[in-house]
Amino acid sequence: MIQQIKMNKRAVLSNTLISTVVGIMAIATVVAGISIFLVSQKNAAAVWEDYYAKEISRVINLARPGDEISLDVTKAVGIATKSQVRSQSEIFTFDNPNNEVCVKLAPSRKTCYPFFNDVDVINYETLPVGDIKDGKPVSLLKFKVAERPVLETI
């Protein structure tokens, strides 16, 4: 009887140790996940990517062929510069075959959002303007909305 009680104490100690180790590993996993999420949200780049992609898509959906559009994108250019996006031509791109506008404010990701207007976006570029706003030079995204060419079928 005494030997059986000693064996049960060992089993209880073993189960306690295993559950403690599993608990510590679970906590470490959660902390690592939260840390990765917080680092990815640096400068709120993901939020601003989503915002600009949706707003530019909305503008394109309301545009007509022949419209020339200029948008103030100073905030986006500032975030991309802080996040070390290599060139301003990478920040805003338009995928006409897929009807998407893409915004890249961090080197590791890009947010794309569709537009539904059956047009092409051409001659787009991000330009610094000589004006000063809040102590920083203003940047404009300029593009032209053109009628989509009709493909002839044979």
Would you state the pLDDT for residue 62? 95
Provide the b/e sequence for 72-88 (b: ≥16 CB within 10 Å): ebbbbbbbbeeeebeeb
DSSP state letters, 108-134 = TEEEEEE--SSEEEEEEEEEEEEEEET
Distance CA 88, CA 85 (A): 8
Domain ranges of the chain: 1-40, 44-147
Would you state the pLDDT for residue 58? 96
**Contacts for 125 with CB less than 8 Å, ≥ 6 apart:** 89, 141, 142, 143
pLDDT in tens, 80-112: 888 888 888 889 999 999 999 999 998 888 999
Distance CA 74, CA 141 (A): 9
Residue 40 confidence (pLDDT) above 80:
no
Distance CA 83, CA 107 (A): 7
Mean pLDDT of 77-81: 88
